[in-house]
């Protein structure tokens, strides 16, 4: 595959939509011969443009991106999308029922916390040593009720987006 085909496939993508996997899977290697110099320069411009928007503040929290996801029900959670990294700052869980609820807080299938939430709306925040935690696409934070009435469970998650 020639470099011109690489340029052609990448030219309609925005820097926001550009994934590193796109660059890796678009074509074969480009060898630095006279024919490939323009293609190498085009690829260099793409990489430098991506780097200038992402690497300057790599791994820093994006200003004004903080939010609180409220009303999270049993079996739900939050997950990052393409080109997103989420930093979870705080987690609070509540039980609106009259009996304890057993809950499992998980990253995918990895259990981070298993315990009980007392009845009548008592909020819970037992994650000090786990926070902040980082979520990337494919690693969802979810809340699984393992005992009690799942309809009585709600959670809130405070988070911000980070530069990836």
Question: What is the model's pTM?
Answer: 0.65
| Per-residue pLDDT reduced to its tens digit, 80-124 | 998 889 999 999 999 999 899 999 999 999 999 998 998 876 655
Fold designation for 67-162? Jelly Rolls (2.60.120)
Task: In whole angstroms, give the CA distance from residue 15 to residue 13.
Answer: 7
Which of helix, strand or coil describes residue 54?
A: helix
Give the burial string for 46-78 (b: 16+ CB within 10 Å, else e).
Answer: beeebeeeeeeeeeebeeeeeeebeebebebbb
- How are beta strands 141-147 and 77-78 bridged, if at all? antiparallel
Are 157 and 72 in contact by the 8 Å Cβ rule? The answer is yes
71 conformational bin, left if phi > 0, alpha if psi -120 to 50, beta if neither? left
- 68 forms bridges with which residues in the sheet? 158
- How are beta strands 67-72 and 85-95 bridged, if at all? unpaired
Task: In whole angstroms, give the CA distance from residue 42 to residue 134.
Answer: 33
Range(s) for CATH 2.60.120 in the chain? 67-162
> Residues 137-144: what's their mean pLDDT?
94
| Per-residue pLDDT reduced to its tens digit, 29-45 | 545 556 666 777 777 88
């Amino acid at each position: 595959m020639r470099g011109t085909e690489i340029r052609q496939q990448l030219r309609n993508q925005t820097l926001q939509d550009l994934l590193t996997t796109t660059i890796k899977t678009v074509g074969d290697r480009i060898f630095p011969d006279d024919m490939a110099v323009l293609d190498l320069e085009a690829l260099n411009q793409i990489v430098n443009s991506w780097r200038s928007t992402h690497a300057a503040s790599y791994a820093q929290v994006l200003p004004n991106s903080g939010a609180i996801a409220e009303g999270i029900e049993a079996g739900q959670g939050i997950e990052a999308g393409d080109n997103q990294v989420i930093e979870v700052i705080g987690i609070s869980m509540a039980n609106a029922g009259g009996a304890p609820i057993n809950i499992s807080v998980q990253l995918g299938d990895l259990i981070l916390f298993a315990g009980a939430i007392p009845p009548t709306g008592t909020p819970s925040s037992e994650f000090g040593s786990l926070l902040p935690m980082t979520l990337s696409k494919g690693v969802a934070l979810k809340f699984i009720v393992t005992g009690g009435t799942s309809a009585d469970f709600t959670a809130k998650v405070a988070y911000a987006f980070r530069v990836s």
